[in-house]
Structure 1
């Protein structure tokens, strides 16, 4: 595990409740595996919090930028220990850590995200799509309202190109403008999205979503050894 000091290159508005911190690693060698996380805080501060890396390793190597998805509060402020983060702000970054990562073989994959749980799954998704002959990947993504779908344009483009099969569902939206799925992730949705019962399934999100979804996958015949979870 390594501790480095890096500047924030850019803060991007991802959704009304999240921001993407683009960390400048152009002058820093930092190796990680898709799905891993970091401990991040302002330079010199003892306060650090874990965040999953949203970028794939090849993206960081190519651009020198590492993306981290950060939730904001109702006032629009970042987490208290990062509230001063802006372009040029220097952060202490420790890591990588975690075993929530891609398998090396080429079995089908199903990613299941709730809210900001999309971050490590995006990292793994982009890493898998780089591999030659990678099978189609399934993604189930649950949020409260459509505006909270982070990386939406990118995911839509991958779906249109036939690279992924994406299933979005919203749990609190009552407007007529959303014509997609509504409600929590249920057995029927997972049955539609599951490429096969021997697929590796990665679930990341709030504890209740993770517990409920893992149980539903088992009822569909997915062995527990092929269900990897990460909750926050």
Structure 2
């Protein structure tokens, strides 16, 4: 039996290793040619100290207090030279991947579908060459734009570990990726690099509030695919805000998740005051009090910088300090001709 360990490095790179039953994380990493920080490997120096963000494990008692105090262990810090996982785990490594003689993983894929969502977005589907990539739900990948020598970053909207990947891409008039997708065809080849990012679904131990702005919906679709396979979980609620009625895409997928995932519900909001949508204005005006759960809630937010800043300010104003707050800011790419100038 083995456990899959995600190593999240300080520069945003994530690499996955398999840890055998009873094997220490440091040994498993070295076996797979990833040199995690270490000096002694005996639980004495503390050089290999990292943070376990999810999963079950045993640290034993063969390390000294100077290397890892009881308070640090209670706070989730671990010594990888002593850590023996008993489940899949996610570990934050406080150094850049290059210092550990690893880095970005690259893979190739073939376009299997390009599905326009009106003038608002495009769903891009890719079939991967070889083994399906592993990533944490919510992470992103860099997709090379053929013929440009440039890439664009997009969150996975599909279930991790599948051979077919999907991405929800904002349509930007004149944008590099949008322009390529307008002329691309099924069968086109692309190169991808990743997975990347520290925005991903942690262990669900309390109610979850998800806040999506526009195509910031993408990572939540991946998270909900994972949640659908985990059985009974604490309540999860998504508030999905867009600028125009036409930007409200893939609502049918959210309806399907509401039917599949016990305790999941969602709210849609349109900013345009002239809209006939039942809820207009900003996301902060439509946060369900029940979903905030008096602050005993994990909040995940993916949207443009003004939305992220507005939500943080709103929470301060209403005196809500969530148990955890994870966010990712994104900005649409500029038109290709502007970038080239």
Q: TM-score range by the shorter chain?
A: 0.7 to 0.9
Query: 1:36 and 2:136 equivalent?
Result: no
Inter-CA distance 86–196: structure 2 relative to 1 (3 Å threshold): farther
Choose which of 114, 119, 122 in structure 2 pairs with 1:19.
Answer: 122
Inter-CA distance 31–160: structure 2 relative to 1 (3 Å threshold): closer
**Runs of 5+ unmatched residues, structure 2:** 1-103, 331-341
CA distance in 1, matches of 2:174, 2:197: 31
Alignment match, 2:69: none
**Structure with more relative contact order (C-alpha pairs < 8 Å, separation 6 or more):** 1
Query: 1:127 and 2:226 equivalent?
Result: yes
**Runs of 5+ unmatched residues, structure 1:** none
Inter-CA distance 185–213: structure 2 relative to 1 (3 Å threshold): same
State the TM-score, normalizing by the size of structure 1.
Answer: 0.86
Query: 1:50 and 2:149 equivalent?
Result: no
Alignment match, 2:252: 153
Pairwise CA distance, 1:76: 9.7
CA distance in 2, matches of 1:67, 1:188: 29
Say if 1:19 and 1:71, in contact at 8 Å, map to a contact too.
yes
Say if 1:108 and 1:196, in contact at 8 Å, map to a contact too.
no
Inter-CA distance 139–146: structure 2 relative to 1 (3 Å threshold): same
Say if 2:213 and 2:303, in contact at 8 Å, map to a contact too.
yes
Larger Rg: 2
State the TM-score, normalizing by the size of structure 2.
Answer: 0.60
Say if 2:157 and 2:222, in contact at 8 Å, map to a contact too.
yes
Say if 2:114 and 2:181, in contact at 8 Å, map to a contact too.
no
Say if 2:207 and 2:296, in contact at 8 Å, map to a contact too.
yes
Pairwise CA distance, 1:220: 4.2
Inter-CA distance 164–6: structure 2 relative to 1 (3 Å threshold): same
Pairwise CA distance, 1:106: 2.2
RMSD of equivalent CA atoms: 2.5
Inter-CA distance 105–72: structure 2 relative to 1 (3 Å threshold): closer
Give SS of 2:158's match: coil
Choose which of 168, 175, 178 in structure 1 pairs with 2:268.
Answer: 168
